[in-house]
């Protein structure tokens, strides 16, 4: 499966509240590309939704490390 398909599925699960499943898709996408700040951001959102704030913060920081101008990181 391509990264864009993994992200699409992950986002759909995120929107429907299946955060654990969404996280799995974002982690699979990250296995294919560790240098995409958007992927780290999606993973962070899924983790935050699961209440895993420390891990989420690490992912948001990773996203910002890759692209300090990333407008989506919050």
3-state helix, strand, coil split of the chain in percent (to 5) is 75, 0, 25
Residue-by-residue pLDDT tens, the chain, 74 positions:
899 999 999 999 999 999 999 999 999 999 999 999 999 999 999 999 999 999 999 999 999 999 987 566 55
For the chain, the structural domain boundaries read 3-66
Q: Does domain 3-66 have CATH number 3.30.70.20?
A: no
- pTM listed for this prediction: 0.90
CB atoms closer than 10 angstroms to residue 16 = 10
């Amino acid at each position: 499966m391509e990264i864009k398909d993994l992200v699409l599925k992950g986002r759909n699960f995120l929107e429907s509240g299946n955060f654990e499943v969404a996280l799995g898709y974002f982690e699979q996408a990250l296995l294919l590309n560790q240098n995409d700040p958007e992927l780290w951001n999606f993973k962070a959102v899924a983790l935050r939704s699961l209440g895993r704030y420390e891990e989420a913060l690490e992912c948001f920081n990773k996203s910002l490390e890759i692209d300090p101008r990333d407008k989506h990181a919050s």
